[in-house]
């Protein structure tokens, strides 16, 4: 049987439908004041008594009868007949009506002398000055800020009724294993309900994760029934698509009604909205980025309808680095990396695979392309929604070009300095082109020219008169990775895995093949391209290929033999105009640090003699 | 003995001193992944295995050998010799190298036919596509966002080492009682360590509140010693001033060294920085707003030095409504209310009493006046730091003028609609003047003219040709509040409590006194002014006065007898240009709602016949 979606509805229509079909009345829980911060009140809160209840001294000093002080001056000091020593906050006894600061009195054997009269009620906090019994402290649906817990305690409050939405999270799938269990082939670590709980608890929902449910209609039915009886809303993770084991929609239809199956968003299409016992049941797609999109674009707005506080995303205008075509009909959400180069934000779409969870970790912004959009061209200005605080986005250091594990360690050294290094892996040539368009702060590159020199030829060719410096990260070994210790001359006849065109490693391979007189046609798999060193090593380890060309650290990471082929100059091309940018300065300092050299030595395969040196690239 | 501060240091110098005197190395705690959201990593986190570990199908469909599919087309369908049915996420067995979507195949008796060839590796998620074993998932000092918990689970992580600062909070003071205990005269509810815990836990510190410590040097000494042995940093609440029982500084000096006593900030001056066992010990002033200022301006920046994430305040430019003079020498922090009237933000300083905790609840912004500033003039543009999300500040509805409890209930009705009603109590005339300067959305007013009519005379006089409407809240009773049921003619010879000049109630009193031929000189206490109805009732209840004039609801709230004197028209003056502002529209709807009428009836003393009607005020 081949199933298809019953219908695919635009997101706006689905949100409108949620508002129409459900009353969205939140649950009420009572929390002790210690846990009230960030919560939203159900009803107004009133002071249980006046604060203060009687007149208090507002200063350290003496309580006086103001009439006694009349006429006191420098020339005519007055020694007061009746006084009481008071500290700040002490009661001013009923017969007194003013306080004089201790700095302004002269004491001798228990009598106080003053040189200035006191006006009635000076330095006295009258009863009810702060708030009177029965006055409203805060209204309904007020979000309690951390400092307000203090005031609430003062006004006699010890617990607060606040709103929440009780959400049952039901993970389904016979392939699921718990976090911490290494998944066997075909198994998957259950991460979507964990992610949903973190996202929804943060806005004040109260999530329960139920045990994993196997893919049988009966078990799914029981689990949904139980979750519906215990919560305001149920989210069923996975089983919402149209595969042979996607039972969620059928089960919801049995227990209640399926209102929507398929939402016109990308990712996130295979979502379900149903109603069971009058409560919303949402089927979350299985792919993490699809699930994340449905949580962000559908479930969080729904939480807003229930009255929870969901902070809006900050939006900045940014210039896109690459074109993105899309078909009309779906709202599309594109995970991106964003940073400020010069005085403008630039933004780059990431890999679009919905299974690549790292793109949710790497991205600091995203773009929403509405249904009627056909995408954008490189250079267009778009609205970018920030996924980090604006301050952090402003401090992003964009590194675009050839990837090396050492870059991740530079990110690790820079983060404690407040700089977020964001690397985009587009190969050396991609980096040079990004630098030409001034879309990154530094471009890591290892491009071998015909004369055997590195990088300068390409920088001069592509950046012309633009002033560019080359900052050396390291001299780095490239070599043959294999399971059996193959060397370069062993390659003909072996199943090879190659790097993409435009990458420095691909150019190095071609240069070395030519030099050795080996015809690429004699190497099966020469056409099979992957995009990182570690992907080459992994293809070898998983027996997809017998050999590849990569850096030593990638082979070492996966415990594979490595036979060196050549040493190359891995440098960062940097426009001279950005050399004084504090982020670039921090980068240079990190590269020249002792910690970094010792990291390179531990990783292995790097020669650090040239690390941190700068040479002129162009013009 | 009269103590004085040893020294008063500028805040900047104190912050620099903290950086110099303390290494600010955070503690490390291990948290399960479920609790990792919002926390900051100690070191880099690496993938425990590749994801996926082997090739998986990226679609629901069939796994094929791409070579078998060559030549397939609409004209020449190909029935495939070997296939395997796969769902999304299933393993693609080793001999297969592509997946065809189920929508693109035709099945008959277990054989699949296709009409389009498949390219090698299409719809296959290669091993390591997401991340390869040993690759870095996130660097040191990375703040884990909620959605990232999912990715961490996927990469084999179940717990994370994160940074924190262990803070011991030591409340001192023999006058302290716990929240929930009604304080006897001279007692105070301990709220500062509760507030400190909420503020500091929010940024990732780990606070312990210790039991209350009585004001004896020995007990304080033992408490500080114990807290120092168990934490990275200790905050001693109160006892930091120069009163007779302020032992904190002396005790710190005995146990270690006092580095600072007195910081040049207002509020917040009586703060202490000491060092005991190499750890910072901070003496927090006792007044809540002073304590809050020290927490915000000193302790939070210190948390940043430890590496915790403290979000910066958003700053907007706003026009101040009133002048504020200050002396040179201290940084001054002024709690304010802020809102957008027309297209600009306006901001009003609140009551400056450091004991008034409500001003921390009422304020949605604050102004920092640096040491060298002499204050500002009305109309100046200042940088306002927001204490609420910008969206909430944008939606503030500013009500400035005469206060009535009904206004608090309107705030309560409006908050669930997303409107924050902020009322500033400056009396009817103050409201009219604010409206003239276009500094509020509505001005509640009950100003009696000589001809016995309400409001119009004043609106026309002060707003001239500006178009203003008057929206009736209610006809409201004013009367004599007393403990013994006094009436208006009983006033001569009784101790009275009056309202401030410019308030409608004061004008009503004078009008009625004149009408009844009573000389104000015959009423003792006529000169004693308070600023709200409830303050009048409270002065009567606390026996500070025998009688006053106020609205019925204030007398009722405190269970006091009330004898009506006159009915008055309590109206909101609104510039017509703001009548279509969504906030003002929401206000009108709230006033006209059934809920509001029933609230007025419950409060008592209101006639609702005219509630919600609009009449032309001027011109």
Q: Label residue A260 by pLDDT band (50, 70, 90).
A: very high
d(C-alpha B92, C-alpha B122), whole Å:
12
CB contact under 8 A, A186 and B37: no
Rounded to a whole number of angstroms, the distance from the CA of B144 to the nearest CA of chain A is 9
A605: left (phi over 0), alpha (psi -120 to 50) or beta: left
A210 and A176 within one domain: yes
Chain B window 9-38: which residues touch A at a Cβ cutoff of 8 Å?
33-34, 37-38
For residue B242, the model assigns a pLDDT of 58
What is the torsion angle, in degrees rounded to the nearest 10, for the CA atoms of residue A353, residue A356, residue A362 and residue A366?
Answer: 40
Q: What is the CATH number of the domain that holds A505?
A: 3.40.190.10
* pLDDT tens-digit map of A100-146: 999 899 998 889 999 999 988 899 988 888 888 889 999 999 999 99
Mean pLDDT of B283-291: 93
State the total domains in chain A: 5
Distance from CA of B285 to the nearest CA of A (A): 11
The arithmetic mean of pLDDT across residues A453-463, rounded, is 95
Buried b or exposed e, range A509-529, using 16+ CB within 10 angstroms:
beebbeeeebeeeebebbebb
Q: Does residue A438 belong to any structural domain of this protein?
A: no
* Position B407 pLDDT exceeds 80: yes
A194/B50 Cβ within 8 A: no
Distance CA A342, CA A358 (A): 27
Do B600 and B548 sit in the same domain of this protein?
yes
On the question of a cis peptide bond just before residue A316, with omega within 30 degrees of 0, the verdict is: no
- Measured at the CA of B37, the angle between CA B36 and CA B41, to 5 degrees, comes to 60
Q: Specify the DSSP class assigned to residue A176.
A: E
Residues A606 and A574 in one domain: yes
**Across A5-19, average pLDDT:** 89
CB A286 within 8 A of CB A264: no
- The conformation of residue B91, written as its DSSP 8-state character, comes to B
Q: Check whether residue B279 and residue B381 sit in a common domain.
A: no
pLDDT at A470: 97
Is the confidence at residue A241, as pLDDT, over 70?
A: no
CATH code where residue B258 lies: 3.40.980.10
Q: Do B198 and A146 touch (CB under 8 A)?
A: yes
CA angle B259, B263, B267 (to 5 degrees): 150
Across the range B516-539, mean pLDDT stands at 92
B84 touches chain A (CB under 8 A): no
Is a pLDDT exceeding 60 seen at residue B4? no
Cβ separation of B194 and A150 shorter than 8 Å?
Answer: yes
The single residue listed with the structure tokens 């606390």 is: B542
**What is the mean pLDDT of the segment spanning A32-41?**
98
Residue A565 near residue A504, CB atoms below 8 Å? no
Residues in chain A within 8 Å Cβ distance of B412? 43-44, 136, 139-140
Residue A397, SS3?
A: strand
A43 closest CA partner among B280, B560, B32, B413:
B413
pLDDT score, position A2: 41
Task: For residue A303, give every residue at least 6 positions away whose Cβ sits within 8 Å of its Cβ, in sequence order, or none.
Answer: A165, A200, A203, A204, A205, A310
Specify whether A487 is located in the same domain as A597: yes
Q: Range of B96's domain?
A: 56-125
- DSSP designation for A494: S
State the pLDDT at residue B457.
95
Question: What rounded mean pLDDT belongs to chain A?
Answer: 93
Whether B161 and B42 have beta carbons less than 8 Å apart is answered as yes
Cα B574–chain centre separation: 27
**How far apart are alpha carbons A257 and A243 in whole angstroms?**
20
CB-based contacts of A119: which residues, under 8 Å, 6+ apart? Answer: A66, A98
Task: Please calculate the CA angle A170-A176-A181 and round it to the nearest 5 degrees.
Answer: 120
Same domain, A213 and A137: no
Look at residue B2 and tell me whether its pLDDT is greater than 70.
no
Angle at B404 between CA B400 and CA B410, to 5 degrees: 80
- pLDDT per position as a tens digit, B347-394: 999 876 666 899 999 999 999 999 999 999 999 999 999 999 999 999
Q: How many CB atoms lie within 10 A of CB B180?
A: 13
A359 in a structural domain:
yes
Confidence of residue A487 (pLDDT cuts 50, 70, 90): very high
Residue owning tokens 């099945």: B107
Q: Are B383 and B315 in contact (CB under 8 A)?
A: yes
Q: Of A83-97, A343-357, B190-204, which one has max mean pLDDT? A: B190-204
Within 8 A of A87 by CB-CB distance, chain B residues are: 243-245
Say how far apart CA A575 and CA A438 lie, in whole Å. 8
pLDDT of residue A1: 38
**What is the dihedral sign for C-alpha A116, A119, A121, A124?**
negative
By the 10 Å C-beta count (0-12 exposed, 13-18 middle, 19+ buried), B447 is classed as buried
Return mean pLDDT, chain B.
93
Q: Let me know if residue A403 belongs to a domain.
A: no
Percent of chain B clearing pLDDT 90 (strictly above): 83
Pairing of strands A124-125, A56-57: antiparallel
Please tell me the distance from the alpha carbon of residue B248 to that of residue B284, in angstroms, as a whole number. 10
Query: Could you tell me the two tokens for A559?
Result: 């415990």
**E-assigned strand segments in A483-544:** 496-499, 529-530
Put simply, the chain B residues between 512 and 551 with a CB less than 8 A from any chain A CB are 528, 530, 532, 534-535, 537-539, 542-544
Q: Under DSSP, is residue A34 helix (H, G, I), strand (E, B) or coil?
A: helix
Same domain, B32 and B17: no
At A125 the pLDDT is: 86
State whether B527 and B591 are in the same domain.
yes
In this prediction, residue B238 carries a pLDDT of 82
Cβ under 8 Å to A: B residues 401-420: 405, 408-409, 411-412, 414-416
Residue A135 CA to residue A220 CA, distance in Å, equals 51
pLDDT in tens, A516-534: 999 999 999 999 888 889 8
Phi then psi dihedrals of residue A62, to 5 deg? -125, 140
Counts of helices then strands in chain A (DSSP H, E): 17, 38
The mean pLDDT value for A381-398 works out to: 96
What phi, psi does B360 have (nearest 5°)? -75, -25
Q: Which of B54, B87, B190 sits opposite A542 (nearest CB)?
A: B54
What mean pLDDT is predicted for residues B296-314?
96
| Cβ of residue B125 closer than 8 Å to a chain A Cβ | yes
Q: Which residues pair with B336 in a beta bridge?
A: B349, B365
Confidence grade of residue B87 (pLDDT, cut at 50, 70, 90): confident
Chain B CB contacts of A391 under 8 Å are 311-312
Shortest distance between the Cα of B514 and any Cα of chain A, in A, equals 27
Nearest to B93 by CA among B103, B104, B101, B82: B82
Q: Domain end: B75, B98, B125, which one?
A: B125
Interface test with B, best of A99, A137, A153, A202 (most B CBs within 10 A): A153
Pairwise CA distance, residues A48 & A325, whole Å? 62
Q: Is residue A429 part of a domain?
A: no
Tokens of A501: 């065109």
Q: Is residue B270 over pLDDT 60?
A: yes
Find chain A residues with C-beta within 8 A of B38's C-beta. Answer: 202
Please, what sign has the CA dihedral across residues A584, A586, A590, A594? Answer: positive
- Residue A4 reports pLDDT greater than 60: no
Taking an 8 Å cut-off on Cβ atoms, the answer to whether A91 and B186 are in contact is yes
Of B353, B389, B543, the CB nearest to A311: B389
Tokens of B538: 């409270």
User: Quick check: is B416 in a domain?
Assistant: no
Q: Assign residue A93 the CATH number of its domain.
A: 2.170.190.11
Q: What is the CA A452 to chain-centroid distance, rounded?
A: 43
Of B372, B394, B416, which one is at a domain's C-terminal end? B394
pLDDT higher than 70, residue B6: no
Express as a percent the part of chain A with pLDDT over 70: 97
Angle at B258 (CA atoms; ends B256, B260), nearest 5 degrees: 155
Please enumerate in sequence order all residues whose Cβ is within 8 A of that of B108, keeping only pairs 6 or more positions apart, or say none.
Answer: none
pTM of the model: 0.94
Q: Is residue A399 assigned to a domain? A: no
Do B565 and B502 fall into the same domain? yes
State the pLDDT at residue B1.
37
Q: Which of A255, A260, A257, A170 is nearest to A215 (CA)?
A: A170
Taking 70 as the threshold, does the pLDDT of residue B555 lie above it?
yes
Show Cβ contacts of residue A606 under 8 Å, excluding neighbours closer than 6 positions.
A406, A474, A475, A476, A477, A552, A553, A600
Domain boundary among A305, A337, A355: A305
Instruction: Give the list of residues 6+ apart from residue A166 with CB closer than 8 angstroms, or none.
Output: A27, A205, A206, A208, A230, A231, A232, A233
**Comparison of pLDDT for A568 and A239, the residue scoring more:** A568
Pair (A204, A217) in one structural domain: yes
| Residues B152 and B222 both lie in one domain | no
Q: Are B350 and B249 in the same domain?
A: no
């Amino acid at each position: 049987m081949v199933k298809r979606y019953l219908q695919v509805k635009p997101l706006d229509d689905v949100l409108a439908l949620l508002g129409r079909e459900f009353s969205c009345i939140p649950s009420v829980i009572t929390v002790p004041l210690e846990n009230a911060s960030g919560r939203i009140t159900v009803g107004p809160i009133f002071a249980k008594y006046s604060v203060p209840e009687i007149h208090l001294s507002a200063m350290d000093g003496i309580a006086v009868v103001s009439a006694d002080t009349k006429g006191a001056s420098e020339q005519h000091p007055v020694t007061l007949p009746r006084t009481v020593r008071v500290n700040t906050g002490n009661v001013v006894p009923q017969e007194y009506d003013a306080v004089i600061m201790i700095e302004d009195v002269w004491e001798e054997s228990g009598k106080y002398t003053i040189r200035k009269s006191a006006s009635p009620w000076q330095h006295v906090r009258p009863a009810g000055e702060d708030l009177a019994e029965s006055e409203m402290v805060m209204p309904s649906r007020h979000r309690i800020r951390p400092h307000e817990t203090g005031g609430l305690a003062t006004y006699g409050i010890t617990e607060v009724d606040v709103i929440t939405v009780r959400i049952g999270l039901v993970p389904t799938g016979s392939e699921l294993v718990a976090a911490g269990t290494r998944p066997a082939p075909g198994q998957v670590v259950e991460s979507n309900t964990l992610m949903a709980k973190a996202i929804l608890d943060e806005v004040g929902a109260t999530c329960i994760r139920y045990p994993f449910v196997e893919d049988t209609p009966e078990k799914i039915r029981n689990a949904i029934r139980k979750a519906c009886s215990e919560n305001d809303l149920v989210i069923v993770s996975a089983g919402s698509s149209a595969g042979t084991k996607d039972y969620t929609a059928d089960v919801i239809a049995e227990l209640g009604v399926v209102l929507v199956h398929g939402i016109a968003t990308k990712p996130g299409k295979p979502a379900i909205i149903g109603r069971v016992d009058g409560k919303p049941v949402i089927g979350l797609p299985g792919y993490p980025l699809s699930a994340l999109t449905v949580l962000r674009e559908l479930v969080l707005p729904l939480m807003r309808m229930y009255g929870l506080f969901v902070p809006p995303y900050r939006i900045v205008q940014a210039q896109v680095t690459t074109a993105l075509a899309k078909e009309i009909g779906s709202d599309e959400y594109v995970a991106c990396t964003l940073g400020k180069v010069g005085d403008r934000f630039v933004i780059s779409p990431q890999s679009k695979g919905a299974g690549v969870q790292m793109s949710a970790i790497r991205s600091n912004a995203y773009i929403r392309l509405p249904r009627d959009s056909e995408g954008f061209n490189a250079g267009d200005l778009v609205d970018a929604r920030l996924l980090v605080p604006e301050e952090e986005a402003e401090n992003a250091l964009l590194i675009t070009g050839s990837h090396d594990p050492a870059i991740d360690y530079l990110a690790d050294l820079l983060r404690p300095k407040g700089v977020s290094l964001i690397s985009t892996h587009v190969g050396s040539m991609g980096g040079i082109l990004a630098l030409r368009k001034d879309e990154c702060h530094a471009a890591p590159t290892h491009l071998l020219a015909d004369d055997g020199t590195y990088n300068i030829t390409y920088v001069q060719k592509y950046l012309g008169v633009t002033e560019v410096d080359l900052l050396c990260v390291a001299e780095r070994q490239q070599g043959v990775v294999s399971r059996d210790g193959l060397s370069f001359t062993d390659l003909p006849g072996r199943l090879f895995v190659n790097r993409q065109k435009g990458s420095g490693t691909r150019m190095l391979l071609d240069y070395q093949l030519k030099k050795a007189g080996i015809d690429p046609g004699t190497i099966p798999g020469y056409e099979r391209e992957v995009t990182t060193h570690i992907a080459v090593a992994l293809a070898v380890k998983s027996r997809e290929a017998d050999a590849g060309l990569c850096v030593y650290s990638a082979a070492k990471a996966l415990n594979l033999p490595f036979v060196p082929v050549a040493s190359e100059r891995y440098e960062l091309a940097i426009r001279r105009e950005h050399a004084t940018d504090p982020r670039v300065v921090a980068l240079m300092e990190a590269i020249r640090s002792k910690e970094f050299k010792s990291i390179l030595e531990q990783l292995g395969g790097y020669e650090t003699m040239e690390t941190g040196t700068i040479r002129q690239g162009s013009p």
